[in-house]
């Protein structure tokens, strides 16, 4: 871990925040437009706690801002460290989940992906807890949402 003091409010920091949030949204948005819920998804049996489809966009929008900011802060502090690696890996898996579920229709592999994302989120929180509590806390709502989404994924897989 770097012992340098990081100025999270500098001009450079704001550019890094903007870049991270942009990339998270751009890649997530592109993947989202290519793997939308279709007739297959509509035909699946779903648990009673399945939210309406319109809920997912706003939730992911808020989470993507938080994920981007946490990633930027981590990058500013230690661009080649373990925590940055955890952030990058969870992001790749985050982007892989929608095509696995909505395009390939692979319920159980999608569950494996979301379980791995959850573990990586918890590892990110744990490794950041002392070094950058803000980044760790930005990932707590993400962990809660992925836990919910994972239970939804598991329930749908079991029902189908």
In a domain, 65, yes or no: yes
In a domain, 5, yes or no: no
Q: Is the pLDDT assigned to residue 110 strictly greater than 80?
A: yes
Count CB atoms within 10 A of the CB of residue 78: 19
In a domain, 27, yes or no: yes
For residue 41, give its domain range: 11-159
In a domain, 4, yes or no: no
In a domain, 153, yes or no: yes
In a domain, 63, yes or no: yes
pLDDT digits (tens, 9 = 90+) for 57-103: 999 999 999 999 999 999 999 999 999 999 999 999 999 999 999 99
Residue 23: which CATH number? 1.20.1260.100
In a domain, 2, yes or no: no
Question: Both tokens of residue 111?
Answer: 């569950």
Cα separation, 13 vs 3, in Å, equals 17
Q: What is the pLDDT of residue 36?
A: 85
Burial of 44 (0-12, 13-18, 19+ CB in 10 A): middle
Cα separation, 151 vs 148, in Å, equals 5
Cα separation, 47 vs 65, in Å, equals 29
In a domain, 98, yes or no: yes
- Could you give the number of structural domains in the chain? 1
Do residues 74 and 16 make contact, with C-beta atoms less than 8 angstroms apart?
Answer: no
The whole model's pTM is what?
A: 0.94
Q: Is the pLDDT assigned to residue 2 strictly greater than 70?
A: no
Q: Distances in Å between the alpha carbon of 158 and those of 69, 77, 107, 143?
A: 35, 42, 9, 22
- Which CB contacts under 8 angstroms, 24+ apart, belong to 104-108? 105/40, 107/153, 107/156, 107/157, 107/160, 108/157
Do residues 69 and 132 make contact, with C-beta atoms less than 8 angstroms apart?
Answer: no
pLDDT digits (tens, 9 = 90+) for 18-63: 999 999 999 999 998 899 889 999 999 999 999 999 999 999 999 9
What residue has token string 């939804």? 152
């Amino acid at each position: 871990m770097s012992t340098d003091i990081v100025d999270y409010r500098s001009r450079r920091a704001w550019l890094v925040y903007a870049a991270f949030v942009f990339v998270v949204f751009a890649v997530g948005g592109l993947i989202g437009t290519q793997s939308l819920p279709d007739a297959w998804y509509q035909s699946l049996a779903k648990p009673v706690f399945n939210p309406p489809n319109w809920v997912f966009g706003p939730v992911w929008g808020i989470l993507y801002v938080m994920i981007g900011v946490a990633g930027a802060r981590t990058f500013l502090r230690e661009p080649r460290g373990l925590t940055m690696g955890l952030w990058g890996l969870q992001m790749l898996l985050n982007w892989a989940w929608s095509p696995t579920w909505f395009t390939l229709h692979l319920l159980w592999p999608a569950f494996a992906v979301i379980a791995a994302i959850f573990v990586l989120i918890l590892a990110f929180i744990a490794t950041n807890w002392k070094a950058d509590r803000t980044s760790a806390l930005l990932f707590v709502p993400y962990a809660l949402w992925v836990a919910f989404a994972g239970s939804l994924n598991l329930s749908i897989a079991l029902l189908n």
